[in-house]
Amino acid sequence: MTGRDGGADIGPIGENSPVVILVRPQLAENVGTTARAMANGGLFHLRLVAPRDGWPQERAWYASSGAHRILDAATVHDSVDDAVADLHRVMATCPRPRHIVKTVMTARGAAAELRASANCGLRTGLLFGPERAGLDNEDMARADTLIRYPLNPDFMSLNLAQAVLIMAYEWWMACDETPPRELMTNETHVATKGELENFLGHLTRDLDECGFLRNEQKRPGMVRNLRHLFERGEVTEQELRTLHGVVTELSRGRKARQQ
Amino acid sequence: MTGRDGGADIGPIGENSPVVILVRPQLAENVGTTARAMANGGLFHLRLVAPRDGWPQERAWYASSGAHRILDAATVHDSVDDAVADLHRVMATCPRPRHIVKTVMTARGAAAELRASANCGLRTGLLFGPERAGLDNEDMARADTLIRYPLNPDFMSLNLAQAVLIMAYEWWMACDETPPRELMTNETHVATKGELENFLGHLTRDLDECGFLRNEQKRPGMVRNLRHLFERGEVTEQELRTLHGVVTELSRGRKARQQ
């Protein structure tokens, strides 16, 4: 996973996924960690505009955690104009643009628009500025849209790879269909109401038997509270079998002690 | 912004924001970059369970880009049990849990639920495992919910600070109200239809004068196409004034040449 040979399989290359364009990047490590962040979110096309220390740089491959394919295919350009010439839409990330009339989008809004553009067959690009200074005014004038991440306004400091990661993550999320919440049950399944009723019957019988429910007035409420507890969670069939065993064993122990 | 003294103002401390719990972190640098990522998304409470190299570690402060307040207030715990004892809800990030019956949420879904819990006055925590191995089964058994980020399944490798950044970002986004798209006009405003009409009148008159629209049959379509172009964008009043100047100057130049 380190060094220039090999690298990880990073999955299929998205045809119309946005090109990440690093403008005058300073540290080769940051180009490598950018490639890693791109791979995380399914971005594959990397262009470098006038990288300070030249290109290629071995250190980028070492820092990429195996995202070699992205670095192997990266192209180098003299100018932003050259890097965006074949693209239809270009968005530029910038923390606080001033005195500019331009559409500003959140990362999430931009990701949705980039997906829409990709679906129309348009080639898109994302400009990221150099580590310290960020994009200059001439760079931003080449973009049709600016992207500003909603983040803690008192602490906006993001490194290059983190800035790329947030866009890559939003790009991925923009067509991800994972339900926000699901119960992972693996080999078992959520218990049916019948299975639950069967267990509650077992529990109530044994509690009646041991006298725990002997107060006739309180009995309905106590049984109902136990029911509420078990109905609330998403108890599985496997867990019910374990609980049956627990109740049986506890009763058996009590009976053994009574003998 | 480096070293242990000083540090950046990271804004107000959210009362019920989730506690970030790093379980057996290995590198002090990663604790520092985690603090930075937390500050980005407005998370402030950090707990460390059995950090490998002990605590405090100067290198964490250097790596935090000024998020010193978070590190200064971090507490150290012997066990996960101790670190979560006062919390009401605990979620654990884990890339691929196996043979576990547990609710799994996306980062976005989890962030919404954490916000809801905070609004109910519940204290919540997020468990992040050690750099290489991740959380073990005993750690995960202490969580009521697992969080799995939707990311490129062929390249899930995230470092600790990046994993924290995505949760911190989603925590921030879960109550951010920035419109996904807005036109930043700064000192000017979007032109009214009247202002636009005024400019189109000026342009059409000058184009009539210079003969550009002399083909009577094509004239309506040509004028309409120009109108479509200018109606499409969100042209500002300031830009219209510039365009008035451009048209006037071009006409004047033409007239001067004709004399």
Specify whether the CB–CB gap between A126 and A20 falls below 8 A. Answer: yes
* pLDDT value of residue A5: 60
The arithmetic mean of pLDDT across residues A163-170, rounded, is: 98
Q: Which stretch, A131-135, B51-55, B134-138, B223-227, has highest mean pLDDT?
A: B51-55
Helix, strand, coil percentages for chain B (3-state, nearest 5) = 45, 15, 40
Angle at B19 between CA B94 and CA A93, to 5 degrees: 75
Cα B21 from chain centre = 22
Over residues B159-193, the pLDDT tens digits come to 999 999 999 999 999 999 999 998 888 788 889 88
Specify whether the CB–CB gap between B33 and B64 falls below 8 A. Answer: yes
Beta bridge partners of B124: B89
Query: Is B176 close to A150, i.e. CB distance below 8 A?
Result: yes
Over residues A95-108, the pLDDT tens digits come to 766 777 889 999 99
**How would you class B244 by CB atoms within 10 Å of its CB: exposed for 0-12, middle for 13-18, buried for 19 or more?**
middle
Over residues B67-88, the pLDDT tens digits come to 999 999 999 999 999 999 999 9
* pLDDT value of residue A199: 95
Residues of chain A in contact with residue B178, where contact means CB-CB under 8 angstroms, are: 106, 148, 150
Cis status, amide bond into A12, omega within 30 of 0: no
Q: Kindly give, in sequence order, each residue whose CB lies less than 8 Å from that of residue A155, ignoring residues fewer than 6 positions away.
A: B8, B9, B10, B11, B36, B39, B40, B66, B67
- Kindly tell me if the per-residue pLDDT of A4 is higher than 60: no
Over residues A182-233, the pLDDT tens digits come to 888 878 888 988 999 999 999 999 999 988 999 999 999 999 988 888 887 6
Query: Is A152 close to B40, i.e. CB distance below 8 A?
Result: yes
Residue ranges per domain, chain A? 19-173, 193-258
Residue A154 is nearest to which of B9, B153, B162, comparing CB atoms? B9
β-strand B19-23 against A181-184: which pairing, if any?
A: unpaired
Query: Is B100 close to A180, i.e. CB distance below 8 A?
Result: no
pLDDT band at B5 (very low <50, low <70, confident <90, very high): low
Residues of chain B in contact with residue A182, where contact means CB-CB under 8 angstroms, are: 103-105
Query: Is A166 close to B162, i.e. CB distance below 8 A?
Result: no
* pLDDT value of residue B229: 86
Q: Kindly give, in sequence order, each residue whose CB lies less than 8 Å from that of residue B53, ignoring residues fewer than 6 positions away.
A: B26, B27, B28
* pLDDT value of residue B185: 81
Residues of chain B in contact with residue A101, where contact means CB-CB under 8 angstroms, are: 183-186, 188, 236, 238-239
Q: Kindly give, in sequence order, each residue whose CB lies less than 8 Å from that of residue B98, ignoring residues fewer than 6 positions away.
A: A186
Residue A176 is nearest to which of B103, B150, B183, comparing CB atoms? B150
* pLDDT value of residue A3: 44
* pLDDT value of residue A202: 95
Topology annotation, domain B19-173: Alpha/beta knot (3.40.1280)
- Kindly tell me if the per-residue pLDDT of B2 is higher than 60: no
* pLDDT value of residue A193: 87
